[in-house]
Amino acid sequence: MQLQRQRIEEQIRQVRALLGVRRGRPPLAKAAAGPVVKRRTLSAEARRRISLAQKRRWAEYRKKAGGGS
C-alpha cells in the first residue's frame, strides 16, 4: 500500500513538472499608471431633475403598455 502511494505521488510530481503547475493565485494585473480621474458630483437639483425625468419616462412607458399600479 505504501509503495503504491509513493508511486502515485511520484507520477503526480512528474505531471506537475510537465504542466508547469503554479500554486496559488496568479498575480493581479496592475492598472495602467496614469493620472487618477476624479469623478464629478451632481448637485441635488441636478439629481432631482434626472429623477423627475426618469419618472416621466416610466409613466409614459406604463401608459403605452396599458398597465399601471
Q: Please report the pLDDT score of residue 19 as a whole number.
A: 81
C-alpha separations of 60 from 5, 11, 47, 57 in Å = 71, 68, 20, 5
| Residue 21: HSE in the Cβ half-sphere, 13 Å Cα cutoff | 9
Q: Please report the pLDDT score of residue 25 as a whole number.
A: 72
Instruction: Show pLDDT as tens, one digit a residue, over the chain (69 residues).
Output: 899 999 999 999 888 888 876 667 766 777 666 777 888 899 999 999 999 999 999 999 999 998 655
Q: Please report the pLDDT score of residue 8 as a whole number.
A: 94
Q: Please report the pLDDT score of residue 67 as a whole number.
A: 65
pTM assigned to the model: 0.41
Contacts of 42 (CB under 8 A, 6+ apart): 50
